[in-house]
Amino acid sequence: MKRLILLLAFLLILSPIASADDDDDDDDDNDEKFLGFDGEDLGEVAQYLLIGVMTIVIWKPGHIWLQKNAKTLFSDPKAKKKLMRTVNKIYMRLHYWAGLLVVIVGGVHGLVVGAEGHPVLYWSGWAGLVIMSISGGLLLWKWPPRKVRKGARLLHAQRAVSVITIILLLVSHA
């Protein structure tokens, strides 16, 4: 678990450093645009949204730990637990919407820029984002049968899918 968090933190730290060292021609007027946004700008927006979405890897275990240990940590544990539930509810709503935006903005970025370097790797990474979003949506809406929801939970919470998706996206942009 600790190794996975360290790997994810390393990837999240490495991503902005790698994007800051790109050799794009910013003064080229022939860049593709979508609704007035440069394709590369859309990629940066998707990147920062993805970083925000992936903070759940730190938030969720921390939230669970604080809930379990509230009696020993706080003088008024009941009020703190209520506050933490409220904060978690807001955080999860942001997580849902940011995840959906990552898929949309990332997809538009790939279409506008044309997934230049390694299109198969890029679209594979994007497909990983779509799979995580669909499985997350199934969990949120509690619509399908219980067995489907159980599989969706396993797929959505599988850290290997997240790590592979991020690696595919990083390699395709290198």
- Asked if residue 21 has pLDDT above 90, the reply is no
Q: What is the pLDDT of residues 30-65, one digit of tens each?
A: 456 656 667 678 888 999 999 999 999 899 999 999
Q: Establish if 21 belongs to a structural domain.
A: no
Q: Establish if 17 belongs to a structural domain.
A: no
Q: Give the 3-state DSSP-derived string for 36-71, with helices as H, strands as E and coil as C.
A: CEEHHHHHHHHHHHHHHHHCHHHHHHHHHHHHHCHH
pLDDT confidence of 18, banded at 50, 70, 90? very low
Q: Establish if 80 belongs to a structural domain.
A: yes
Rounded to an integer, the average pLDDT of 99-120 is 84
Predicted TM-score of the model (pTM)? 0.71
pLDDT confidence of 27, banded at 50, 70, 90? very low
Q: Establish if 22 belongs to a structural domain.
A: no
Q: Establish if 151 belongs to a structural domain.
A: yes
Domain residue limits at 103:
2-6+38-173
Q: What is the pLDDT of residues 114-169, one digit of tens each?
A: 766 778 888 888 999 999 999 888 888 877 787 787 888 888 888 888 888 888 88
Counted domains in the chain = 1
Pair type for strands 33-34 and 37-38: antiparallel
**pLDDT score for 28:** 47
Q: Establish if 108 belongs to a structural domain.
A: yes
pLDDT confidence of 173, banded at 50, 70, 90? confident
Q: Establish if 14 belongs to a structural domain.
A: no
Q: Establish if 145 belongs to a structural domain.
A: yes
Question: CA distances (Å), 27 to each of 31, 78, 96, in order?
Answer: 9, 57, 36
Rounded to an integer, the average pLDDT of 64-79 is 92
* CA distance linking residue 95 with residue 137, whole number of Å: 11
**pLDDT score for 35:** 61
